[in-house]
């Protein structure tokens, strides 16, 4: 029996009923990786270690919540003794001596990390076209982007190679590829999941989260990913609920915020139609629609593209050829070592953002750009605070359209940046948000975004799960198979 396109819950049942052994499960995953190598979804595989762990589970059954479940890990989580590149030439030879907290938490729960997924270099990109290791392909169509930066993770799940993967989201990098690949992805509240061991892009925005076929699977993964971590000063010391508990709660009387400031006229008509049909589905489940205002929402993209590059220029200064990673050969002095290492090791998009960030942090422009962006960021957060006094969740489209062709937007960075139009605001406000499949446009999937209040992942998972019990968009596969 194949595990392709199976959910975590279905695979757990197969293992418990001895329909498949843990070793057979892992062997099939690697077979699927080889058969789908054209997707370029993986950078580094972990086959020997994974098979040993699977055999151990067969010989010594575990009652851990995710025992034996194969998972793909985004290649910016440090993994002990396994190459971690962040999709960059500068880290092509980096093998960490420790694992990120997220990796440790998932493996303690029984997950088997089968390999590291391809991604936009240092998580900078919206299409997975900036990786040093080449473009990731979307299994939904030839020459289509999978979205970024967690495109490798999304592609691997959409192709049915793995049931789940880790991702990170700085401005939409879980939700946007989830939308373009027809899967479910969740960005938790900032600080809910430890950032220790994640290679930093923008420290006040980065957040790890689960990617899977269903909201239910995301809840299972989030239960294990979350923990208070003293090694991460931004980690929240808050009660962590069981995210499965409220999945089946009735939506009757729950309020959905519909943003009246949203410029739907700029979207493809099909996107608007799919979005409005989804809202009607929630109404049929008992929810109420409430008009809300987020007057500063349109400022999210320019605010983000000041704050994020500023933080990236600071974080990436550590990659200088001295302590770890690639080092330029035969520099004449220390300054040339820095310049040549970074010039050779970083791609164009990373260099672009470092330059922007250094500029907005410079003495003459700090107040005009970075300080002003932080003030606007506060206004965006205030808008959300006021909106959530009246509603339980807020819904928008996840993306402006379905997956686009590779190379179609690379020559215009501004158009690429606008791909994150609807997702960025949740990162700036530190709020949980997720994307789930809610339709198809020209046989390509599209997603609905649900934004929740601070630390209220349970509500957005509840809305998503109830929607998925009534619809089958999340069950469609690139091969036209409906489970």
Catalytic residues: 74, 149, 173
Task: Find tokens 């030879």 and name the residue.
Answer: 93
Measured between alpha carbons, how far is 98 from 49 in angstroms, rounded to an integer? 16
Spatial distance between the Cα atoms of 221 and 192, rounded to a whole number of angstroms: 13
Closest alpha carbon to 219 in 454, 395, 9:
9
Contact 354, 125 (CB under 8 A): no
**Residue pair 117/73 in contact by the 8 Å Cβ criterion:** yes
Task: Supply the DSSP string of 18-60, one letter for each residue.
Answer: TSS-HHHHHHHHHHHHHHTGGG--EEEE-HHHHHHHHHHHHHS
Q: From the CB of residue 291, how many other CB atoms can be counted at a distance below 10 Å?
A: 11
Measure Cα distances from 306 to 205, 353, 374 in Å: 12, 9, 9
Q: Which residue is listed with tokens 């936009």?
A: 120
Query: In 110-254, at which residue ranges do the beta strands (DSSP E only) sit?
Result: 112-117, 164-168, 184-187, 208-212
CA distance 280 to 206: 33
Q: How far apart are CA 339 and CA 355, in angstroms?
A: 13
Check: CB of residue 100 under 8 Å from CB of residue 77. yes
Which CA distances in Å does 123 have to 45, 148, 202? 20, 8, 10
Minimal CA–CA distance to 399: which of 436, 432, 453, 428? 436
397 bridge partner residues = 448
> Which of 315, 247, 289, 310 is closest to 395 using CA atoms?
289
Our CA angle for 263, 266, 271, nearest 5°, is: 95
CA atoms within a 13 Å half-sphere pointing along the CA-CB vector of 215: 33
Dihedral sign (CA 62, 160, 6, 34)? negative
How many angstroms separate the CA atoms of 345 and 356, rounded?
Answer: 18
SS3 209: strand
Instruction: Collapse the DSSP code of 334 into the 3-class scheme (helix H, G, I; strand E, B; otherwise coil) and give the result.
Output: helix
């Amino acid at each position: 029996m194949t595990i392709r396109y199976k959910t975590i819950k279905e695979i757990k049942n197969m293992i418990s009923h001895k329909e498949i052994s843990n070793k057979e499960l892992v062997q099939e995953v690697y077979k699927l990786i080889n058969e789908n190598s054209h997707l370029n979804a993986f950078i580094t595989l972990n086959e020997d270690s994974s098979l040993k762990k699977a055999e151990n589970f067969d010989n010594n059954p575990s009652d851990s919540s995710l025992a034996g479940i194969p998972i793909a890990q985004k290649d910016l989580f440090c993994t002990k003794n396994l190459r971690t590149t962040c999709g960059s030439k500068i880290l092509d030879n980096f093998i960490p001596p420790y694992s990120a907290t997220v990796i440790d938490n998932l493996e303690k729960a029984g997950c088997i990390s089968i390999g590291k997924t391809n991604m936009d270099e240092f998580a900078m990109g919206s299409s997975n076209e900036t990786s040093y290791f080449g473009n990731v392909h979307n299994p939904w169509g030839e020459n289509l982007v999978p979205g970024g930066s967690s495109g490798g993770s999304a592609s691997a799940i959409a192709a049915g190679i793995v049931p789940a993967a880790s991702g990170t989201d700085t401005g939409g990098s879980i939700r946007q590829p989830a939308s373009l690949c027809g899967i479910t992805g969740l960005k938790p509240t900032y600080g809910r999941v430890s950032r220790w061991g994640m290679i930093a892009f923008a420290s006040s925005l980065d957040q790890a989260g689960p990617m899977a076929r269903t909201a239910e699977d995301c809840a299972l993964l989030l239960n294990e990913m979350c923990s208070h971590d003293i090694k991460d000063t931004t980690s929240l010391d808050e009660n962590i609920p069981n995210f499965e508990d409220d999945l089946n709660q009735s939506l009757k009387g729950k309020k959905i915020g519909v943003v009246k400031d949203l410029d739907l006229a700029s979207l493809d008509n099909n996107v608007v139609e799919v979005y409005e049909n989804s809202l009607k589905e929630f109404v049929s489940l008992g929810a109420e629609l409430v008009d809300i205002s987020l007057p500063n929402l349109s400022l999210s993209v320019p605010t983000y593209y000041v704050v994020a590059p500023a933080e990236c220029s600071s974080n990436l200064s550590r990659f200088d050829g001295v302590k770890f990673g690639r080092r330029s050969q035969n520099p004449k002095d220390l300054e040339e070592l820095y310049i040549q290492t970074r010039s050779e090791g970083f791609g164009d998009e990373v260099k672009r953002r470092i330059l922007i960030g250094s500029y907005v942090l410079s003495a003459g422009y700090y107040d005009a750009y970075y300080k002003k962006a932080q003030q606007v960021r506060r206004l965006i957060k205030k808008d959300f605070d006021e909106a959530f006094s009246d509603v339980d969740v807020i819904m928008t489209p996840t993306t402006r359209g379905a997956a686009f062709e590779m190379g179609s937007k690379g020559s215009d960075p501004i158009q690429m940046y606008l791909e994150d139009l609807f997702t960025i605001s949740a990162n700036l406000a530190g709020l949980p948000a997720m994307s789930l499949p809610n339709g198809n446009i020209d046989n390509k999937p599209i997603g609905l975004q649900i934004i929740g209040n601070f630390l209220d992942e349970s509500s957005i998972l509840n809305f998503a799960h109830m929607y998925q019990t009534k619809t089958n968009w999340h069950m469609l596969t690139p091969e036209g198979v409906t489970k």
